[in-house]
Chains A and B, each alone.
Chain A
Amino acid sequence: MDKAAFYKLLKEKIVILDGATGTELQKRGMPKGACPEQWILENPHAILETQKAYKEAGADIVYAPTFGANRWKLKSFGLEDKVEEINIKLVQLSREAVGSDTLIAGNLSPTGEFIKPFGERAFEEAVDIYKEQVQALVDGGVDLFVIETMIDIQETRAALLAVKESTDLPVMVSMTFGEDEKTLTGTDPITAAITLEALGADAIGCNCSTGPKDMIPILKKIKSVAGVPVFVKPNAGLPVMKDGELFYDLGAEEFANFADEFVEIGINLIGGCCGTTPEYISFLKEKTKAITPKLWRESKICALTSVRKTVVMGENMPLVIVGERINPTGKKMLQQELLEGKLSEVRRLALEQQQKGASILDVNVGMPGIDEKKVMVDVVENLSTLSELPLCIDSSSSDVIEAALRIYPGRALINSISGEEKKLKKLLPIAAKYGAMFIALPLDDKEVPSTAEGRIKIIEKILEEAKKVGYGTQDMVVDGLVMTVSSDQKASLETLKVIEYAAKQLKTSSILGLSNISFGLPERQWLNSAFLMMAMAKGLNMAIANPSSENLMELKMAGDVLIGRDANCKNYIDYFAQSKPTSQSTNKQPKEENTSTKIYEAVLKGEKEDIEAYIQQALDEGMKPFSIVDELLIPAINKVGELYDKKEYFLPQLILSAEAMKTGFNYLEPLLLKEDSGRKKTKIIIATVKGDIHDIGKNIVGLMLKNYGFEVIDLGKDVPKEEILKQVKEQNVPIVGLSALMTTTMGEMGVVIDAAKKEGLKTKFMVGGAVVTKEFANEIGANGYAEDAIEAVRLAQTLEQ
């Protein structure tokens, strides 16, 4: 069967799929834990009866019982070398059961392994596993394929690619969504539908997991974006255990009653999953036999996806910011890390841009001395599970682009495809194969046109070529090509004409690399901002920019409102609602305050950057160092303590204030020593006891104690009691803080305290740690227990008195 015949069938009638196979086989004696495929081959009557019954009930398509007949699944039964034989024989049995007038779909399902980036198996391994099964199913004589009960979009992509790279037979793809309307690995129905349709699925659907009622909202979402037919195979309700057996409580007639709603939504193929029987299918057939199916929309929508998110672009949609920061050009730290194979900076930049409002992340790792393909694949895999934003693959190498598109678990954007003959011929088929959207860059082998007319000519040529490989205007994003206005003052106007042409004539999306416009000129933000507004007014709907620029993001918000792309001004209100200061208002002049107030406020607000200057000013004005400490710093930090107790301040604010206080105190310290050598910091030893190797908590306590003016002697972790006592004696330390994380090591704290007492030391002990309690502290004779770092400071302050 070819795709045209498949679609012709779907236009004629509601196509009925079969019902459950597993539960029918169990009824016919298949034991729990058996390998279904092997059991069927040993007991062929069971599948023959089941599938004959489905055919008689009215099924137009039955699924070959090859659900688990892939190498990885069969391996758990020691049958991994019989993939070909098993698949062929199972298809032959199906054919024997239903004859040639009922279609047989080769069934591919989860391998039972998890695929990268989510799991440990390489993507290509999964593609090969499926290809082996696909080939056997083709050899067995299936009419089409179904990929069903999928829980992970990446594994689904592997199966779909395996089919597309092996045969032209139609392929239906169905994922399983839970009650939260997501797959087990977090993909929503809209995102799944866009990703799979772009990759070449001929029909999209959902099966298993829930009953028909819960599937209706999922199906509506799929239908809202799908440009291919949609199908459904619900369970007979949710399963419960009754007398040791699985039981589904939705009856056949009740189940089939949902057919009306399915048809109304526009579903073209309906069947049943777990718990359904030929009776259910018979009722479905009866319900739908006289219905003329609705046709499906035959165009894709302009959207990009990641594993968990869809970003839709369009005339009335808000301007989409493509974060430009993941690009090593001019970034030394990023360059260094990429050369060393590290991705910390890439990860930080990705999340920072996401937080700042980017909708898509541009990824460019091109630089001298780098294996660009390998690094691009690493980055794409890494970002796929770190950020929820879709990616824009930015490279001049078609090999790098192809490698990235192949493993990217979503629908990506390619940056970019130009009119250069060689590139066009090579990249367009690659882009089309993986269903990516692409940026059309209006330059070719001859020139970078300076006029809009020249650029439009190239864009038209790119579009014409793109249409030949199945693309439509909605899949292309036109780059207006921004040239610097300092070298050609007409450059901006020509770019704007291209944007207008894309929006009005072609009805495509358009994009600009905004900041090029102002290159070489001072105060560039004004030119960038003005140009963005002009381009938005001409129809620009995407911009490659740095989302950390508040000015730009605020303008985008305002522009979306004024051009009518922000319904009810919702995004604008949300953006500014959290009393977000505008870039204008953050520049407001501080009100005039005297120097003492400035010092007090600096501690209160945790502004350590300014405190030294204020203190110097106060000293210049004649204030004594001790007065600054006693009348300003200490009262301010006490006020902070009060605010913390009232929960008006929380820990980071308290620490910021303590740091400001410490900065001020350190600045004054030499003067204080001159004035009065009697004031000294109290020494305190901190240590994580023997056997315990985790000391983050203890180290944070150490930092806080330093901030509050203690001289901290940190002995580290896994410290034996002898070392602690030796240091106490040698350095004459009045307070020791002991930490332990585990029940197995906390006893050691008591051992240290006992040993100190035996030696007659007067040192006071404070203890803490995840499993330590006040009661335990009392039990081992500690002088105090602190639950957290702040309590530790307060306890130390009490103990020093």
Chain B
Amino acid sequence: MDSTVRYFESIWIEPPMGRILYRLGYKKTKTKLDEHQREQIEKLIWEGVSHCHPKGAFLILPITDRTKDSVTIGKHLVESKSLTELLKNSEAVALMASTIGDEIIHAIEDEIKKENSVKAVIFDSTASQMADKTVAWVMDFINKSLQKEAKALTSMRFSPGYGDLDLKYQKIFFEELKLEKLGISLTETYMMTPEKSVTAICGVENRVRREDE
């Protein structure tokens, strides 16, 4: 795969109904929900989905140097023991970003203003799960593309702000992926707007033959 940023302007994400309900506390074997309530809640989830605009971007960059506690990705030195450990078998990384846009954020804010609590929490849960699924979709896309080269992404992904990967490394994503093209911006305190935007990094590893293959 070449080192060009790829942008997905509009990604189709099947709403993860189970996860959205689960995030709201729904337990399949315990929660008692009559059909009328279920219908109302599902209707609101779908309405939330209609406000989501999943987009994504990714870039494969080589690891140019590494020490015990740091890796250099392209020209960027990243000091993080946990990321260095994650990338121990990788010669390259995938920088990824995704967002579901700001329409859903405004919709949630509107519902909060109108004191429609149910709608607000359902939209919020829908937005969070759609955002998670969007970054998972981008990972899946890269993984399937890499298959041809007998490569795969590390199953784990890291994001700035997790563990010892400092939030300041958000800057790398913005510089390399030009995230303003997806409508994402970064504040001085390294927060992304719109909320529910995600950046993530994975290693690219060779797909080695397993014993059971």
Contact = CB atoms under 8 A, between A and B. Distances in A.
Interface string B94-134: 00000000010100110010010110111010000000000
Interface stretch (A110-118, A130-138, A417-425, A719-727): A110-118
A333 interface: no
A644 B105 CA distance: 27
A119 B6 CA distance: 9
B43 interface: yes
A693 B193 contact: yes
Interface string B146-186: 01111100000000010000010000000000000100000
A656 B118 contact: yes
Contact of B209 (A242, A274, A648): A242
Contact of B27 (A178, A352, A650, A745): A650
Given A208-B148, A351-B49, A653-B37, A385 B11 contact: yes
Most buried by A among B21, B117, B122, B147: B117
Contacts of B141: 184
Contacts of A307: 12
Nearest to B23: A651
Contacts of A274: 148
A352 B43 contact: yes
B144 interface: yes
Interface string B177-213: 0000100000101110101000000000011110001
Given A114-B9, A344-B51, A647 B25 contact: yes
Contacts of B187: 693
Interface centre among B27, B31, B122 (most CB of A within 10 A): B31
Contacts, number: 177
A580 B46 contact: no
A648 B32 contact: yes
Given A696-B109, A742-B191, A118 B24 contact: no
A654 B112 CA distance: 17
Contact of A691 (B31, B42, B189, B213): B189
B120 A700 contact: yes
Given A241-B207, A789-B121, A699 B103 contact: no
A435 B70 CA distance: 56
Interface stretch (A262-270, A470-478, A703-711): A703-711
Nearest to A771: B161
Contacts of B207: 239-241
B150 A241 contact: yes
A184 B141 CA distance: 6
Contact of B24 (A117, A652, A699): A652
B6 A114 contact: yes
Interface string A378-419: 000110011010000000000000000000000000000000
Contact of A119 (B7, B118, B149): B7
Please classify how large the interface on chain A is, using the bins under 10, 10 to 19, 20 to 34, 35 or more.
35 or more
A221 interface: no
Contact of A580 (B31, B35, B109, B115): B35
B50 interface: yes
Contact of A650 (B24, B103, B115): B24
Contacts of B37: 652-653
Contact of A651 (B4, B8, B25, B209): B25
Interface string B24-59: 111100111101111001110011011100000000
Given A114-B7, A355-B43, A742-B189, A659 B36 contact: no
A586 interface: yes
Nearest to B46: A351
Contacts of A240: 150, 207-209, 213
B109 A699 contact: yes
Contacts of B2: 76, 112
B10 interface: yes
Contacts of B36: 581, 586
B150 A344 contact: no
B12 A308 contact: yes
Contacts of A648: 30-32
Contacts of A654: 25
A694 interface: yes
B88 to A, nearest CB: 16
B64 interface: no
Given A240-B207, A241-B208, A355-B46, A652 B41 contact: yes
A584 interface: no
A655 B121 CA distance: 9
B47 A351 contact: yes
A575 interface: no
A239 B43 contact: no
A184 B148 CA distance: 12
Given A118-B9, A240-B150, A659-B118, A653 B4 contact: no
A21 to B, nearest CB: 15
Nearest to A353: B46
A702 B24 CA distance: 17
- Closest 10 A/B residue pairs (Cβ): A650-B25, A385-B10, A347-B50, A241-B206, A647-B30, A239-B150, A703-B117, A348-B50, A651-B24, A699-B112
Interface of B: 2, 4, 6-12, 14, 21, 24-27, 30-33, 35-38, 41-43, 46-47, 49-51, 103, 105, 108-109, 112, 115, 117-118, 120-122, 124, 141, 144-145, 147-151, 161, 167, 181, 187, 189-191, 193, 195, 206-209, 213
20 contacts: A112-B4, A120-B9, A120-B181, A186-B12, A240-B207, A241-B207, A351-B47, A352-B46, A352-B47, A647-B25, A650-B24, A654-B25, A655-B117, A655-B121, A691-B189, A693-B193, A694-B191, A700-B120, A743-B161, A744-B161
Given A112-B2, A694-B195, 12 more contacts: A119-B7, A239-B149, A240-B213, A241-B207, A308-B12, A347-B50, A350-B50, A581-B35, A694-B193, A696-B105, A700-B117, A700-B121
